[in-house]
Structure 1
Amino acid sequence: MNNIFTDSRLREEIRFALDKIGFKKPTPVQEKVIPVMLKRQSVVVQAATGSGKTHAYLVPVLNDIDVDDKYVQAIVTAPSRELADQLYKVARQLRDASGLNISIALLAGGQDRDRQIAKFEQNKPQLVIATPGRLLDFADKKILTLDRVKDFVIDEADMTLDLGFLADVDKIASRMPKDVVMSAFSATIPVKLSNFLRKYMEKPEEIVIDNPAVIAPTIKNDLLDIGSKDRKKIVYQLLTMGQPYLALIFANTKQKVDELADYLASQGLRVAKIHGGITERERKRTLREVRNGQFQYVVASDLAARGIDIDGVSLVINYEIPKDLEFIIHRIGRTGRNGLPGHAVTLVREEEMNRVGALEHMGVHFDFVEIKDGALVPRTHYRRRDNRTAKARQLDPHMKGVVKKVKAKRKPGYKKKIRQAIQEDNRKKRKIEARHEMRHQKRLRKRKREQNR
């Protein structure tokens, strides 16, 4: 099969740029997507983070831009300003390596709007990379016109849906020409997203890149049942017993990020924090300091799980399981990148084991561990699914005696009596378990009340 990076349909400058930045062999998503987009055909691509999808659409989009026409010819949307900024840098790298005179603009929240307007009007961009809200704002104010756009790419489409930006994208797409080539890239394709795409795409090419391992094989992915222990103290213990090169600790809310970062700082650790509540300037400064090696520990919200690339992460700690289970895949994926070994530890309590089961169903494999003598060691978890299944098939000694006794008599209907006896025994067990669970929940509520005093 021919290498798409050397395909004659690509401009000589683009082929040169790909070689210059070290792109010799396309990834599976690039190999399948680029030829379709070069034919100017709409495409819906389901591919995991880190599969190479950014270049899969940027290569044909840049290839399609007419350098002599000074108007917006292509738009790429990203659901967060961090993602948009990252895409902007990748697009500029490819443009600069090619030497093509293509003007690229970044429109994202968190930046001075008046400066963006002045820069936009001065540079006359041909490619715009934007967050949906800021893009719609520019379109509403007639600063940017959408009626001549040739290519429209929605990146991280599922995240766009999750964050509530699909309505903005809808308004944007409705103002584009009917012959615009729309492409959507997403880790998953929920039903609501699929319905939206059908509204604007007629028979798009659907490409699914199988991800055989949800978690990279280079990552040791551990599950730590902390019982009634303090989460913050467990995190501190994990951070100090192994001395990671760079650790990312994920919490679900900015309040939890602040609380955990303050606690770790009070224990003498130099901690950086990243979440949506800090200013853009502060966030950029923090990321720069992390990349320069000034911090060994970073506490972050899920904002950092998708869109912020920090090299050298050797340890990821999930302080809690995210509300959106899929985020845990992106969290863990921050370590073990580029073939390097990585380690992830997820903290869990007994009442969260059903969510662990849901993650296992999604293909996320965990190794159960415990802290012993200052190290993480394997353990067999009493709630592990295969153990539960095996035990469910076994009768306790009392019921074995009942079965043996009834079988010995061999009277008519003995099988029915055995079945009824087992059902009655299970009913009693469920009643006892329910009573224990009620007491357990009552203890948890009492503990929470005491902590909140």
Structure 2
Amino acid sequence: MNNIFENEKLSPALRQGLKKINFVKPTEVQEKVIPVLLAHKNAVVQAVTGSGKTHAFLIPVMNEINEKLPYPQAILTTPSRELAQQLYQVTRQLRDAAGLNISVAQLAGGTDRERQLEKIGRHKPQIIIATPGRLHDFVAKKILPLDYVTNFVIDEADMTLDMGFLGEIDFIAQRLPQNCVLTAFSATIPVKLANFLRKYMAKPETIIVDNPTVISPTVKNDLLDVGSKNRKKILYQLLTIGQPYLALIFANTKQTVDELTEFLIKQGLRVAKIHGGITERERKRTMREVEAGQFQYVVATDLAARGIDIAGVSLVINYEIPRELEFVIHRIGRTGRNGMSGHAITLIREEEMDQIFKLENMGVHFDFVEIKNGALVPRKHYHSRKTRQSSSQSLDNKMRGLVKKAQKKRKPGYKKKIKRAIQLDKAQKNKIEQRSKIRKAKRQRKMKRNN
């Protein structure tokens, strides 16, 4: 198969620019997506975090820009200002490497709106990178014309849904030209999102770049049952085993992030925190300090799992399981990137195992571990034990006794006899339950007539 980075449909300048930034071998998502977008086809792309999807849409989008046309020709949306900033930097890097005369503007909430207006008026951007709220604002007030937009990309579409931005995206999509190519990139495709995308895409190309384990094979993904032990103390133990290069600890709320940060600082660790409750200026300063190696530990909410990209994360700890289970995948995706090895540990208690089973059904594989003598060692996974218990507990004592007898070596036909007995017992119970419901309904009707 020919290297897509050398495809003749890409401009010579863009091909040269890719070489300059050392893009030699495309990733799987780039090989599959770039030809589809170069053919001007709508696409829905499901790919895990860190798969190279940004350049999968950025390369064909930049290839389509008419440098002489001083209007927005491509709009790239992303649900957070941190992601918008990342995408803006990556776009400028490729543009500059290719020597293209393309104007790029970043429109994000939480930043100076008037300054953004001034830049748009002065530079006439051809690529707009925006958060949904600020984009909606500028389009609704007719600041941004959409007449010449030929590419509209929804990046991190599932996060866009989670954060409640589909209304703003809907507003924009209704106003796009008919020939505009729509592309959505997402780690997962929930039903609500699939229905939304179907509204604007007639038979899109569906591209699934599926890692069979969902989690990158470079990541050791462990599960640790803390039992009745103090979860904070367990966390401290894990952070001081083996001394990670950079550890990222995820909690569900700002309050928990604050509590963990305070606790770990008291233990003598140098810890940074990132969540929605700190100011934009403070967040940027913290990020600069983390990138400069001033912190070895960062405690964050899920905003950081999808909103920032911290290089060099060698350890991810899920201090608690998120309400949206898919976020476990996004959290773990912060480590083991670009072929580097990584380690993820999820802390649970036995009553949370149902959530782990759901994650396993989604394709997430866990290795059970425990702490012994100051080290992590394997332990037996009790998935099968719990399954057996739950199935037997649904039977009464009489039936449970028959099941135990059936497990012993018997003459041929004995096990079938036990199974029939269990089936008859269930049928009898169902009949009794139905009769009870009918009698109850009759009593209720009689009471209504008497009243």
Q: How does the TM-score come out when normalised to structure 2?
A: 0.87
Q: 1:388 aligns with which of 343, 366, 386?
A: 386
- Aligned equivalents of 2:37, 2:62: Cα separation in 1: 11
Deviation at 1:213, TM superposition (A): 2.7
How far apart are residue 333 of structure 1 and its match?
A: 1.5
Letter of the 1:387 counterpart = R
Match of 2:366 in 1: 366
Report the equivalent of 1:201. 201
Specify the code of the residue in structure 1 equivalent to 2:282.
E
**121-130 vs 190-199, which deviates more?**
190-199
The match for 1:210 is 210
Aligned to 2:443: none
Distance 2:407 2:145 in 1: 82
1:403 Cα shift? 6.5
Alignment of 1:79-94 (within 5 A): 79-94=79-94
1:43 aligns to 2:43 (yes or no): yes
- 1:220 equivalent to 2:225? Answer no
| Of 409, 419, 422, the match for 2:421 | 419
Alignment correspondent of 2:176: 176
**Matching of residue 15 in structure 1 with residue 5 in structure 2:** no
2:312 is the counterpart of 1:307: no
How far, CA to CA, are the matches of 2:210 and 2:223 in structure 1?
A: 25
C-alpha separation between the residues in 2 aligned to 1:10 and 1:421?
66
TM-score under structure 1 length normalisation: 0.86
Once the two structures are TM-superposed, the CA of residue 148 in structure 1 deviates from its matched residue by: 2.2
Distance in 1 separating the partners of 2:403 and 2:34: 64
Residue 295 of structure 1, CA deviation: 0.3
Change (3 A) 1:65 1:404: closer
The superposition leaves residues 269-296 of structure 1 with CA deviations (integer Å, 9 ceiling, x where unpaired) of 1110011111111111111101111001
Provide the residue aligned with 1:353 in structure 2. Answer: 353
Deviation at 1:391? 6.5
Cα offsets for 1:180-208 (capped at 9, x unmatched): 11111111222221221122122222222
Q: Secondary structure at the match of 2:346?
A: strand
Match of 1:144, SS? Answer: coil
Please state if 1:240 is matched with 2:237.
no
What is the match of residue 294 of structure 1? Answer: 294
Matching residue's letter, 2:421: R
CA–CA distance in structure 1, aligned partners of residues 332 and 227 of structure 2: 22
Task: Write out aligned runs for 1:252-267 (5 A).
Answer: 252-267=252-267
5 Å matches for 1:9-158?
9-158=9-158
Q: Which residue of 1 aligns with 2:335?
A: 335
Local SS of the residue matching 2:298:
strand
Match of 2:432 in 1: none
Comparing 308-317 with 320-329, greater Cα deviation is found at 308-317
Contact 2:406 2:418 in 1 (8 A): no
SS of alignment partner, residue 33 of structure 2: helix
Q: Which 4+ runs in 1 deviate beyond 6 A?
A: 391-398, 400-405, 421-424
Q: Which ranges of structure 1 fall in alignment gaps of 5 or more residues?
A: 428-453
Contact 2:402–2:418 under 8 Å retained in 1: no
Distance 1:191 1:147 in 2: 31
- For 1:339, what is the secondary structure of its paired residue? coil
List gaps (5 residues or longer) in structure 2: 430-451
CA displacement at 1:419 relative to structure 2: 3.4
Which residue in 1 is equivalent to 2:187? 187
Give the C-alpha shift of residue 53 in structure 1: 1.2
State the Cα distance separating 1:388 from its structure 2 match.
3.5
- How far apart in 2 are the matches of 1:103 and 1:418? 74
Distance change (3 Å), C-alpha of 1:6 and 1:351: same
Superposed CA deviations along residues 4-42 of structure 1, whole A, max 9, x for unmatched, are: 211111111101001111111221211121112112221
Q: Distance in 1 between matches of 2:341 and 2:147?
A: 48
| 8 A contact 1:399–1:422 mirrored in 2 | no
Cα pair 1:155 1:184 within 8 Å, conserved: yes
Provide, for residues 360-382 of structure 1, a one-character-per-residue CA deviation record: whole Å limited to 9, x for no partner. Answer: 1111111111112211111124x
RMSD over aligned Cα atoms: 2.7
Q: Alignment length, in residue pairs?
A: 419
Distance between the aligned counterparts of 2:384 and 2:209, measured in 1? 30
Q: Is the 8 A contact 1:132 1:168 kept in 2?
A: yes
Give the Cα separation in 2 of the matches to 1:340 and 1:281.
31
Residues 223 and 346 in structure 1, CA contact (< 8 A), matched pair in contact too: yes
Contact residue 291 and residue 311 of structure 1 kept, 8 A: yes
1:222 Cα shift?
Answer: 1.1
Percentage identity across paired residues of the two chains: 67
* Distance across 2 between alignment mates of 1:122 and 1:400: 79
Distance 1:194 1:401 in 2: 47
Greater shift, 309-318 or 236-245, is seen at 236-245
Partner Cα separation in structure 2 for residue 277 and residue 221 of structure 1: 30
Over 3 Å counting, the alpha-carbon distance change for 1:100 and 1:404 in structure 2 is closer
Could you tell me how far apart the structure 1 residues matched to 2:279 and 2:248 are?
20
State the partner residue of 2:444.
Answer: none
